Structure 1
């Protein structure tokens, strides 16, 4: 599951996909014929009469995802605040600035293909053609960002769209209700996790992504994540978490140690603070933060909060 990092990074997905948010009217139309089903994972957290609902998201979507089941929809309507990792409807210039700083070459360095061993360069070119990505699009991108772009295109190939992303839908609904939306992280902090990788490690990250696309692992991982999330399949989500934790590749360890374990404590801090400040709130973060050892719910339980898994 190491290469499907894009399901956890909102701002990056939107910018790479180059898409605008779906208007409220279109979102409401999408709800009218959609079946109601449990999606992702949902927890209820309580402390001193305050209640926060914690929902596991993915940063892609389809019309059939919406609306959510009644308990979650009621919680969303009653919440004083919606907390997201990053608000995809927030200032777009901040997203663009963070990507320029952490995802693009500066001072004329590049292209990323020059960082790859010679046998990988034609392989990357073939994949870019396969996904319909022009050479000029990736010319200024660092290797880690090209790897992420390949993941974006795989989800699109399987029919999932950025403009229907779960967190974007949640944000659109909250803003339409006049509800407060807060960010638990920032786009810059998310991008910096990748940008701090040494050039050699970024090239390794891209090499492993190329291998994963060619051996169909990336496609298989995308299907597994989306199926588990769309069916709220608790056992499948736990298997994905276990597979991610057991991955010993460079990109696998980066996901486990940096993108998950490294971020979970701060996400738990933000959710605990929200719970104690607001009588009713909803926090929605990437679903892989809610499963496995050292998950956000596990950390919150360790702090003496009452945490109940609904599904």
Structure 2
């Protein structure tokens, strides 16, 4: 579901009932800690050949480190009252090689006092709301007849065990299925950017603040009435059945990965998701109506003396009601940092070569093999002062020019000569 942190709502659901445990699953200690954030179907293979692999099984080499993360997504710096905070547009699904933030994102997060997310799925009140079963009478009224059969077919096609979602509110059932549809393209809620940032913050003991509550998000999704909720369920089922939603999510993920803010700004032109009054009302509720509250929370944290790294869905950043525009209207200086299309590839971290031993000192003043002709290298010669391996040109008056400074890490000529002379004197 666009604009909603799907991973937060999927946390705690058990999708593993009809599947078998991976026999040779990698040890947890060998995986990047960010990969351990996902709760659903992480260490399982789908029982049916048509089912997509689990998140961990989708990785070619689980646990393989990356030399550096790649900067993805959209980032703005916002400044006011002598403090700097950040707006980071995220995506709530991701690929395995996206779990490590790029250097720009890492630096901005490290410089911040607080990570602000739409929801903190580890918060007790949030978890309680998310796990609250729906009213059975509501389920019977909304999910009946053909709508119930359509939902059952989509649940089966998503390889979700029967009954896994049945106690959730109807809109959350289709939201969960929407979050799983992009697995066929290698995009998983387990690798959602918001959750990987949360894991990174917890590992560094950085406070996490939720800008919204689960109850507020649920109200936005349902629309407040059974009629509107049923309308949204039908629209979501239409998108799932047509395959349109999968294409939209893949395109959105590609745009996000390129940091292509210009194309994201034109989202309404290519998403094919604002064709009906119902779709337009939903998009307004999911984005424009929520943005002022998100901006209030960010401003409040910043005014309280905090440097805030605010990470929310990228679609909250676009348009006249987008967060960069709202923060500028509140007196912040807003500067784009990552908003241009990028084409980058993460490189595997090479194995570290064993350190080679340093050159041994030569006896009798002979140069060590491989050092001949090296400028500024001091070589001890008998008990006399050290000389450069390459003669320096003579200055006027016949005096020799001082030897060039030795490279960093090499011994200078004068200390070497002094040490050698001292040793010779002791021997005498």
- TM-score after normalising by structure 1: 0.84
Which of 283, 286, 293 is equivalent to 2:320? 293
Equivalent residue for 1:226? 253
Measured at CA, do residues 147 and 95 of structure 1 come closer, stay the same or move farther in structure 2, by a change above 3 Å?
same
Equivalent residue for 1:125? 152
RMSD of aligned Cα (Å): 2.9
Equivalent residue for 1:110? 140
Equivalent residue for 2:94? 61
Measured at CA, do residues 189 and 297 of structure 1 come closer, stay the same or move farther in structure 2, by a change above 3 Å?
same
Cα drift, residue 41 of structure 1: 0.6
Cα drift, residue 305 of structure 1: 1.1
Is the aligned partner of 1:240 residue 2:267?
yes
CA deviations over 1:20-70 (Å, ceiling 9, x no partner): xx9786325858326533311100000121000111112222221132222
Measured at CA, do residues 251 and 60 of structure 1 come closer, stay the same or move farther in structure 2, by a change above 3 Å?
farther
Is the aligned partner of 1:26 residue 2:31?
yes
* SS at 1:5 equivalent: coil
CA contact (8 A) 2:301 2:308 kept: yes
* SS at 1:110 equivalent: helix
Is the aligned partner of 1:273 residue 2:300?
yes
Query: Per residue, is there more helix in 1 or in 2?
Result: 1
Instruction: State the aligned residue count.
Output: 300
2-side partners of 1:31 and 1:276: how far apart?
41
Measured at CA, do residues 289 and 23 of structure 1 come closer, stay the same or move farther in structure 2, by a change above 3 Å?
farther
Equivalent residue for 2:8? 11
2-side partners of 1:285 and 1:187: how far apart?
15
1-side partners of 2:29 and 2:291: how far apart?
31
Cα drift, residue 189 of structure 1: 1.7
CA deviations over 1:125-159 (Å, ceiling 9, x no partner): 32222112344224333331222122022033332
2-side partners of 1:108 and 1:209: how far apart?
18
* SS at 1:185 equivalent: coil
Is the aligned partner of 1:99 residue 2:130?
yes
Measured at CA, do residues 110 and 100 of structure 1 come closer, stay the same or move farther in structure 2, by a change above 3 Å?
farther
* SS at 1:284 equivalent: strand
Is the aligned partner of 1:176 residue 2:176?
no
Consecutive unaligned residues in structure 1, runs of 5 or more: none
Equivalent residue for 2:244? 217
2-side partners of 1:198 and 1:100: how far apart?
20
Consecutive unaligned residues in structure 2, runs of 5 or more: 17-26, 35-62, 340-428
Equivalent residue for 2:108? 75
Mean CA deviation greater in 299-308 or 269-278: 269-278
Cα drift, residue 17 of structure 1: 7.0
- TM-score after normalising by structure 2: 0.63
Is the aligned partner of 1:144 residue 2:171?
yes
Measured at CA, do residues 7 and 183 of structure 1 come closer, stay the same or move farther in structure 2, by a change above 3 Å?
closer
Within a 5 Å distance, the mapping from 1:300-311 to structure 2 comes to 300-310=327-337, 311=339
Mean CA deviation greater in 203-212 or 274-283: 274-283
CA deviations over 1:43-99 (Å, ceiling 9, x no partner): 0000121000111112222221132222221111121111111123333xx344313
2-side partners of 1:259 and 1:7: how far apart?
7
Structure having greater relative contact order (Cα 8 Å, sep ≥ 6)? 1
CA contact (8 A) 2:70 2:103 kept: no
* SS at 2:331 equivalent: coil
> Based on CA coordinates, which of the two structures has the bigger radius of gyration?
2
* SS at 2:224 equivalent: coil
Equivalent residue for 2:398? none
1-side partners of 2:253 and 2:29: how far apart?
24
Which of 249, 267, 274 is equivalent to 2:276? 249
1-side partners of 2:214 and 2:15: how far apart?
16
Equivalent residue for 1:207? 234
Measured at CA, do residues 180 and 142 of structure 1 come closer, stay the same or move farther in structure 2, by a change above 3 Å?
closer
Is the aligned partner of 1:154 residue 2:181?
yes
